A and B are shown apart, each in its own frame.
Chain A
Amino acid sequence: MTDSRILLLVLALPFFGSLLSALLPRTARTAAGLVAGSVAVLATALLIPFYAPVARGEIVRLEIGWLPTLGLDLVFRVDGLAWLFAMMVLVIGALVVLYTRYYMAREDPVPRFFSYLLAFMGSMLGIVLSGNLVQLAFFWEMTSLFSFLLIGYWYGNRAARDGARMALIVTATGGLCLLVGVLLIGRIVGSYDLDVVLASGGTIRSSPLYLPALILVLLGAFTKSAQFPFHFWLPHAMAAPTPVSAYLHSATMVKAGIFLMIRLWPIFAGTDAWYFIVSFAGLATLLVGAWAAIFQHDLKGLLAYSTISHLGLITLLLGLSSPLAAVAAIFHTVNHATFKASLFMAAGIIDHESGTRDMRRLSGLARFMPFTATLAMVAAAAMAGVPLLNGFISKEMFLAEALDARGGPVIGFALPVLATLGAAFSVLYSLRFIHQTFFGPPPTDLPKVPHEPPGWMRRPIEILVIACLVVGIVPAATIGPVLQSAVRSVLGAQTPTYSLAIWHGFSAPLLLSMIALATGTLAYFRFRDALNRRAGPPVIARFKGGRMFERVLADIVRRARSLEGLFGTRRLQPQLRLLVCLACLAGLLPFLQLGYATGGLPVTPLDPAFAVIWIVGGICAVGAAQQAKYHRLASLVLMAGAGLVACISFVWLSAPDLALTQLLVETVTTVLLLLGLRWLPKRQPEVWPDDRPPARVVFRRSADLGIAIAAGLGAALLAYAMLTRPLPDTISRYFMEQAYPQGGGRNVVNVILVDFRAFDTLGEIAVLAIVALTIFSLLRRFRPASESIEPPVQQRMQDAADLHAGGRRVGDTKKDYLLVPRIIMEWLFPVIFVFAIYLLVRGHDLPGGGFAAGVAMSIAIMLQYMAGGTRVVESRLRIRPLRWIGAGLLLAVVTGVGALAFGYPFLTSWFRYLELPVIGKVPFGTALFFDLGVFLLVVGATALMLVAIAHQSIRTPRARTPARPDVPPVIREEGED
């Protein structure tokens, strides 16, 4: 049962359970609890058999190739340490699930909670089971994310939101540092595989990148494990529901940093940098945390700071760099997880059953909840390091290590003293926790009458407390082998001999331990009233990490704003100017490096007529640019002229398909823009104060002119350089050779579009359909500017003339307007229709095709609108652009899918000659159906755009303003739209 693939299952189970739980209804607390509980229990059961190989010192690995060329494979591995941590995560997770079921109120959305909790559990397992450092960093960030969601679970509470945000920013920033550190390690070693990295400790320690990598990895670990000076987020995270605190701050989250430091201990430890950084951070955290814990009045606050202090203790042990200290660190990690989880749960029960967590209000609860009191007392005694409990053994190991620490006389003397001081603080706050809550006179002003919780709510604590006792009394027989396998997986050959006995004879550590117990007890009874009167811890109260964090954050935001104000702009013109300049520079750069030279391709002899056409084209382009501001119609005509020149160039230079499409598209674009002109404001020539524009404006225009000339010159030079170079061999040759044999078409361009690259074309027509629908929906809510609402002046004048002339009705002039061209346009409809079909059918062999045919067809429709007006056309013709679009897209896709039915890839075309009666042999291919789809869609999309804009003129606008008195009155037909 130790198939390495089971590891994947263990890891996948929590995420699966998380999804399942998220799908449950809001009130399904028991069902969600069952899901979460069974996931935790099942995963535990699956993981237990791995103990056998792990205890033999083997590493069970599962590798899944992902991006092997980048050294990124999914690697899951379990060894002694990973097994120990994974079991801790799962077992305490299962207990927390049980506890949560009874803790959460009926109105809380409990399934959501379990969903987060399981996802967090999975991420945590991901960290400990990862065999690839990048993968580890990924799961690391996931724990940050899910802890954010868990801490902010009661998001209605401001403290919860702030605490969650602070935890996320601190730990995710640390995670980013970790990622960079991991990448550095990968650079040094040449692999991200954990086993490879662990085997190259010497390479890493002697590398010049060692120090940066170390600092970055430690930043990740310190932020996660709440080490000084990043410890401030942890107390703020106490706004979370108590089960979250019990889980995150005992066995998981904060232990991730510890896990990482233990994991990488073999490659990082032993240098001065490691020794000083890690020991100092650990010692500072130990003392600051313990000192602050003494002065808390909130039970959870006390536990939060004591957690910080114990994490500091473990970090300090790791920093001391001796193998024995590492053993003590691993051992204390497990011990701390057991007693701290039970203490958090006990604090939760007290809060739950008495209504407050304030130690100043609590008193004498032992008589109301004797069982809970006993359990909490044992757990707190373990935290204080009282003999016969697990905390005692690891604390003794710690004191022994403090006495043995190297580093000169000052440290040799100071470290044991400070360590004993920390231990004494620990005794003090543990005693305060127990004595103030459970002893003394009965409480007087509690919100609720306290009583024992439901039995099942106490059960997790009972299990944990029994574990504390058993490990404390017979350590070697219980935790011994597991600890040994974990230690060996980390230290390997360095594994020291150590004994897990409770009695080592009278020794210096025992003496220190006793001094700490006695000092702590005495200090509590001497100062307890003074403690209750104080509002915060002396000395360190002024350095509020949380406050500083907020201030730094606010400062960053303010600076970012001012930077944005300095360098950013919301105005589009400067942005575009910058973009164009950058594009010009990017185009210039290669020429500056390599020089400019034309190629050796013989030029095509110049036809003077071509030059003349382009002189006209150039004049049109410049004229369009010059006229665009004040004379839009002229500009439009000139622009169309330039387009026409482009079109003639295509004809001239062997591109008939392009010419045809360009010509037709040009027509439609012009009509579209003409329809749009109606809704743009009138523009009068600008008048400047001194008859000349101010210097600022002149400068801006000259600069733009310079940029434009530079861009044009660049484009011309680039085009010329390219045109004079020989054409390299491209894929075109293949298309030319295979167009007829494989595609069954002589027009290679069309064969490329509907056959070789039909998938691209499918994407393109989809874009066209989306654009048409966007235009349609944008115009449904269109509100014209108030000054454009009235009908144009000419129309009003015509209507007024109709009104005043005898025997005419309003609209008669309009109706008779351009009568002859109108009739011709109406008659043209069938002609253009036939022409479009002709273009479509011949497209495969001769210039034409679905695009050109579709645009031509839409021109036919458009002409009808222009001739007869919207109402007339729509009463005669069925204009259903939306259906045409749908049918076209469907036909194109179905044609493509049809190939699948015959076992060919999507959009493979089929072609053969058919023998038809009378007509004879005709080519027939599925490509024609595809082209028909393109045709239908293009007709639909173009018609939809044109009709949507055209309809605006006959709509009744939403915002209506009274007609101005100086123009003829408005006579409007009420629109149907």
Chain B
Amino acid sequence: MEIVLAIGIGVLTASGVWLILRPRTFQLIVGLSLMSYAVNLFIYATGRLQIDEAPVIEQGAAVPLADPLPQALALTAIVISFAMTALLLVVLLASRGLTGTDHVDGEEP
């Protein structure tokens, strides 16, 4: 499982990086979203991988559960990256309305 997840994080990162280096604002949004998937998965993975060990305490059972801390962090990260995407979208729409172009520099090269 580890190797698959690691490659998955890599592919998401690569696609995201490629997109944030592109000139159009929409590409930037998609790129940042893909990168935030990768980052969220990475933060989650710092607690290592476990199957069927959700950090929900059952009565009487004292089994080692998945690490809850990275999960709490990643949960926060998911919500914040949503807020960031939304804000970026609106800023880009406003910029497009003001400058008449969707190039990241606000002007066609």
User: Which residue of the partner chain, among B58, B69, B82, B84, contacts A730 with CB atoms under 8 Å?
Assistant: B69
**C-alpha spacing A652/B18, complex, angstroms:** 28
B3 to chain A minimum Cβ distance, whole angstroms, is 6
A701 to chain B minimum Cβ distance, whole angstroms, is 9
Q: Is the CB of A709 within 8 A of B14?
A: yes
**C-alpha spacing A772/B52, complex, angstroms:** 36
Q: Is the CB of B41 within 8 A of A654?
A: no
Q: Does A828 contact B (CB under 8 A)?
A: no
- Chain B residues lying within 8 Å of A655, measured Cβ to Cβ, are 44, 54, 66, 71, 74
Q: Is the CB of A723 within 8 A of B45?
A: yes
- Kindly report which residue of chain A lies nearest to residue B84, judged by CB atoms: A771
- Chain B residues lying within 8 Å of A723, measured Cβ to Cβ, are 2, 5-6, 45, 48-49
- Chain B residues lying within 8 Å of A713, measured Cβ to Cβ, are 10, 14
- Chain A residues lying within 8 Å of B65, measured Cβ to Cβ, are 654, 736, 748
Q: Does A606 contact B (CB under 8 A)?
A: yes
**C-alpha spacing A383/B47, complex, angstroms:** 80
- Chain A residues lying within 8 Å of B79, measured Cβ to Cβ, are 661, 665, 764, 768, 851, 938
Q: Is the CB of B40 within 8 A of A646?
A: yes
Restricting to B42-82, which residues have a CB under 8 Å from any CB of A? 42, 44-58, 65-69, 71-72, 74-76, 78-80, 82
**C-alpha spacing A668/B83, complex, angstroms:** 11
**C-alpha spacing A654/B97, complex, angstroms:** 44
Q: Is the CB of A642 within 8 A of B37?
A: yes
Q: Is the CB of B21 within 8 A of A704?
A: yes
Q: Is the CB of B82 within 8 A of A669?
A: yes
A715 to chain B minimum Cβ distance, whole angstroms, is 4
**C-alpha spacing A414/B84, complex, angstroms:** 75
Q: Is the CB of B20 within 8 A of A716?
A: no
Q: Is the CB of B2 within 8 A of A845?
A: no
- Chain B residues lying within 8 Å of A851, measured Cβ to Cβ, are 75, 79
- Chain B residues lying within 8 Å of A605, measured Cβ to Cβ, are 1
User: Which residue of the partner chain, among A649, A661, A767, A768, contacts B75 with CB atoms under 8 Å?
Assistant: A661
Q: Does A949 contact B (CB under 8 A)?
A: yes
- Chain A residues lying within 8 Å of B48, measured Cβ to Cβ, are 601, 723, 727
- Chain A residues lying within 8 Å of B38, measured Cβ to Cβ, are 715
Binary contact track A585-612/B, C-beta < 8 Å → 1, others 0: 0000000000000000101111100110
Instruction: State which of A5-13, A309-317, A631-639 sits at the interface with chain B.
Output: A631-639
Q: Is the CB of A580 within 8 A of B87?
A: no
Per DSSP, chain B at the interface is: helix
Q: Does A91 contact B (CB under 8 A)?
A: no
Q: Is the CB of B56 within 8 A of A747?
A: yes
Restricting to A669-722, which residues have a CB under 8 Å from any CB of B? 669, 672-673, 676-677, 679-681, 683, 704-705, 707-709, 711-717, 719-720, 722
Q: Is the CB of A580 within 8 A of B17?
A: yes
Residue of A749, A760, A781 ringed by the most chain B CB atoms within 10 A:
A749
- Chain A residues lying within 8 Å of B14, measured Cβ to Cβ, are 708-709, 711-713, 715
**C-alpha spacing A590/B5, complex, angstroms:** 22
**C-alpha spacing A656/B55, complex, angstroms:** 9
**C-alpha spacing A732/B53, complex, angstroms:** 15
Query: Size of chain A's interface in residues, with CB distance under 8 A?
Result: 113
**C-alpha spacing A717/B53, complex, angstroms:** 26
Q: Is the CB of B17 within 8 A of A707?
A: yes
- Chain A residues lying within 8 Å of B74, measured Cβ to Cβ, are 655, 658
Binary contact track B69-109/A, C-beta < 8 Å → 1, others 0: 10110111011101111110111111011101110110000
- Kindly report which residue of chain B lies nearest to residue A570, judged by CB atoms: B105
- Chain A residues lying within 8 Å of B46, measured Cβ to Cβ, are 722
User: Which residue of the partner chain, among B25, B29, B56, B86, contacts A775 with CB atoms under 8 Å?
Assistant: B86
Q: Is the CB of B10 within 8 A of A712?
A: yes
**C-alpha spacing A668/B78, complex, angstroms:** 12
Instruction: State which of A232-240, A367-375, A613-621 sits at the interface with chain B.
Output: A613-621
B40 to chain A minimum Cβ distance, whole angstroms, is 7
Q: A607-B1, A654-B54, A658-B78 are in contact. Are A771 and B8 (CB under 8 A)?
A: no
Binary contact track A831-848/B, C-beta < 8 Å → 1, others 0: 000000000000001110
A621-B15, A727-B47 are known; give 15 further A-B pairs, CB within 8 A. A621-B12, A653-B1, A653-B5, A654-B51, A658-B74, A668-B82, A679-B96, A716-B10, A719-B6, A720-B2, A752-B68, A752-B69, A753-B72, A771-B83, A941-B83
Chain A residues with CB under 8 Å of chain B are: 570-573, 576-577, 580, 601, 603-607, 610-611, 614, 617-618, 621-622, 624-625, 628-629, 632, 635-636, 639, 642-643, 645-646, 649-650, 652-658, 661-662, 665, 668-669, 672-673, 676-677, 679-681, 683, 704-705, 707-709, 711-717, 719-720, 722-724, 727, 730-732, 735-736, 739-740, 746-749, 752-753, 757, 760-761, 764, 767-768, 771-772, 774-775, 778-779, 781-786, 788, 845-847, 851, 938, 941, 945, 948-949
Question: What are 12 A-B contacts defined by CB distance under 8 Å?
Answer: A618-B7, A618-B11, A621-B34, A622-B11, A625-B16, A654-B65, A719-B5, A732-B47, A736-B68, A749-B71, A771-B83, A774-B87
Give the top 9 A-B pairs by smallest Cβ distance, nearest first.
Answer: A712-B14, A716-B10, A708-B18, A720-B6, A748-B68, A625-B15, A654-B66, A715-B13, A719-B6
